[in-house]
Amino acid sequence: MPTIRFEGQDYFCAEGETLLDSLARHGVMLPSSCKAGACLTCLTRALKGTPPAAAQQGVKDTLAAQGYFLACLCKPVEDMEIGLASVSPRYAARLLSKDLLNESVVRLRLEVPHGFTYRAGQFINLTRAGDELTRSYSLASIPSDPYLELHIKRVQEGRMSTWLFDDVAAGDELSFFGPSGDCFYLQDDADRPILLAGAGTGLAPLYGILRDALAQGHAGSIHLFHASLATPGLYLMDDLRALADAHTQFQYTPCVLHGDVPAGGMQGNIVDLPVQVLGALGGYRAYLCGDPPIVNGLRQKSFLAGIAMRDIHSDPFVFTPA
């Protein structure tokens, strides 16, 4: 009889009983509705133990990879601990280097704290000691890199970005929680075409996902569209071109809304460009990152071009001014 641990209490689950029913029998009412795997209301996370595959049908694959499952379909076969979120320890990491990628984006590289693991494309919550000011930043590095890389955009009047730009120096210690997020590469189908699209520092997770996919031997085509209003807002162009030269399956298209177009680039609205270039997108997996209006526009266009809803992964960034 499997034991289910939830919020520090143990509950016994009978043979063939669903986790939802079992907890309800003990007086623990998880939010639920259809009890048949349709509505996703009872989405729950396995913090320990593995949910049966049947309990993950219909759950987005990047969520399933993090242990999310449907309590109404889950007939536990082993002891499990469940919860809504895993609680991250607070990590401390020394800043190794700090350099400008363009006029308004700075790259921070932090040492990897002992015990910290992540998937490229996830984000961390950087916290300033003293006032606990916290902001989320995506990881642009991959787990085999000897550092954690963040791309910080200077936000007008933004307290965190101003502090990171002006006051923090190599050698300083920064603290953070995490990782979190479901925008990351999945190694389940190495031949599947991938669309990466985003604007501004939305490149950070995309760069991580791209390098992760290449490092894991992804053979299918990968096309990255990185947009900015104008060329000076783009960054890492040389690195990305070098990656495209070294990997035939990877193509890079820098995009600008107006002004001079960089070599190999395009002018236009990033929301329209991927479909304009690639045409029908059935079978693709898409990763879309950046400002919410751009991400939402890209999601809609990608979906209408044929990408299944569950294969669209997005990370809308919200920039917080003072």
Partner 1 sequence: MSSVYEQLGGEPAIDAAVDIFYRKVLGDKYVIRFFEGVDMDKQAGKQKAFLTMVTGGPNSYTGKDMREGHRHLIKMGLDDSHFDHILCHLRSTLAELGVAQNLIDTVISVAESTRADVLDR
The residues of the shown chain that bind partner 1, judged by CB under 8 A, are 33-40, 57-58, 296, 299-300, 303-304, 308-310, 312
Q: How far is the CB of 309 from partner 1 (least distance, A)?
A: 5
Give min distance, CB of 208 to partner 1, in A.
Answer: 22
Cα(318)–Cα(33) distance, rounded to whole angstroms? 31
Nearer to partner 1, 97 or 300 (CB): 300
d(CA 222, CA 39): 33
Q: Which residues contact 250 (CB under 8 A, 6 or more apart)?
A: 210, 214, 221, 222, 223, 224, 243, 244
Task: Give the shortest CB-39-to-partner 1 separation in angstroms.
Answer: 5
Least distance to partner 1, CB of residue 41, Å: 9
Min dist. Cβ of residue 36 to partner 1 (A): 3
Give 55 or 234: the residue with its C-beta nearer to partner 1: 55
2 upstream amide cis, omega within 30 of 0: no
Secondary structure (3-state) at 105: strand
Nearer to partner 1 by Cβ, of 36 and 169: the residue is: 36
Q: Alpha-carbon distance 45 to 83, whole Å?
A: 5
Measure CA of the first residue to CA of the last residue in the chain; give whole Å: 54
Exposure on the CB side of residue 319, measured as CA atoms within 13 A:
19
CA–centroid distance for 27 within its chain: 35
- Which CB, 303 or 319, lies closer to partner 1? 303
Q: Provide CB contacts within 8 A for 182, sequence distance 6+.
A: 60, 62, 63, 66, 313
Nearer to partner 1, 55 or 148 (CB): 55
Taking the complex as a whole, the smallest distance from the CB of residue 172 to partner 1 amounts, in Å, to: 38
Q: Which is nearer to partner 1, 268 or 306 (CB)?
A: 306
Min dist CB 108 to partner 1, Å, is 31
- Residue 240 or residue 288: which is nearer to partner 1 going by CB? 288
Q: List helix spans (H) across the chain.
A: 19-25, 61-64, 159-166, 203-215, 237-246, 273-278, 292-304
Write the CA distances from 196 to 40, 177, 185, 312, integer angstroms. 27, 26, 11, 10
